[in-house]
Structure 1
């Protein structure tokens, strides 16, 4: 329960000099990658702007958490480990890493976190976008390894990070999933649960969700334009415009 001004006045009027509270959880955010530079930088060959941390921090703050951006770690185990130790020293309740959780030569997060003492809970899930998601515990600290692709990072934040932080902060958090009908045909799905970026509008008292034609997990503009995600179960059949669907509202 979030104590608003009226609730605080009510507690005082009932002669309660103190009330129990839950500490706002602290999430430490670590971006990884030699190719990343902060906004405002002049890009060279094979370099990109580091953007995921800002969206993840905003997602955390939207459910009452505090966000600590620890910056960018190079693709070296010692550089990543140093920021993990900073997060622990800062008293983080949750450590979020961005990128480096897949299986490439520069995907070092698993080795670093387990080397620091993390017990792995799971690694890789059957969803799109967001397959490389990782979760574990480093003592009392929850560790979430988010994918490096911007869309996958933010979709996973919506589905996993926000509910976790809300619970740690003593809040209720429910995903806003509503019935709708498709505004355009959609192909059959494979073995992964799919979260399809869509524009949702109201038509004659019902919601209509129209998927964007491009669903690549690097296309952040499509997620910025979307106000919902069509939820597609594994092995769902192809569906025509007008058929029923479920949509997770983003805003």
Structure 2
């Protein structure tokens, strides 16, 4: 018998308000925590939403300490992992004693990803952009939680053909939202033309991610591609 891992989720940002709130100027609804919690629960983990921390070190640190007190196996922070004036996660977590394993990764979306250990807990700093946080949850959080919970986990990778051309890639590995369908006995992937990581609608409509290797050359209609199926 293996204990179900506990994930403590901390959203950060002065601009965030809970669902149902009346929004003022420069404010948005905090939605990432719900998607991350659902991802965690899908692999058998327990999710503990610790709420929203303002963009102040002491506010974030207070919720990190709550996560430690609750004996969370994984502490997930949302936003604040980049290098702007309000990106405080690195300083707060290391100030609380986290040993940093890596920070920033050559992928898109999800470059500001952070990972470290705070005592027995693993810490994952997810990007604040909704699509980036959910793609990183699929790639990193779900496999980690499955392993901690004694479960097998394999990404559902498929071979497909492109239904639209794609430009040459740069130094980052891309995960491109797409609609994947079966056609004449094989899979065909149609990437969305807009891939902005703040646009959740495209992710909601997608059932797969076309994986583009770093420095991949331009691809034409009909070329082979790899697809990570989401459902």
Tell me which interval the TM-score lies in, with the shorter structure as reference length: over 0.9
1:214 alignment partner, SS class: coil
1:120 aligns with 2:106: no
1:32 corresponds, among 1, 8, 12, to 12
Give the aligned partner of residue 151 of structure 2.
Answer: 171
Give the aligned partner of residue 72 of structure 2.
Answer: 92
Give the aligned partner of residue 174 of structure 2.
Answer: 194
Shift of 1:248: 0.1
- Give distance in 2, aligned partners of 1:230 and 1:100: 27
- Give distance in 2, aligned partners of 1:175 and 1:80: 32
- Give distance in 2, aligned partners of 1:141 and 1:59: 18
Shift of 1:113: 0.3
- Give distance in 2, aligned partners of 1:170 and 1:47: 40
1:162 alignment partner, SS class: helix
Shift of 1:176: 0.3
1:181 aligns with 2:161: yes
- Give distance in 2, aligned partners of 1:136 and 1:99: 16
1:108 aligns with 2:88: yes
- Give distance in 2, aligned partners of 1:189 and 1:219: 21
Shift of 1:100: 0.2
State the TM-score, normalized to the length of structure 1.
0.92
- How many pairs align? 231
The two structures, once aligned, show a CA RMSD in angstroms of: 0.3
Give the aligned partner of residue 57 of structure 1.
Answer: 37
Give the aligned partner of residue 212 of structure 1.
Answer: 192
Shift of 1:47: 0.4
1:153 alignment partner, SS class: helix
Shift of 1:148: 0.1
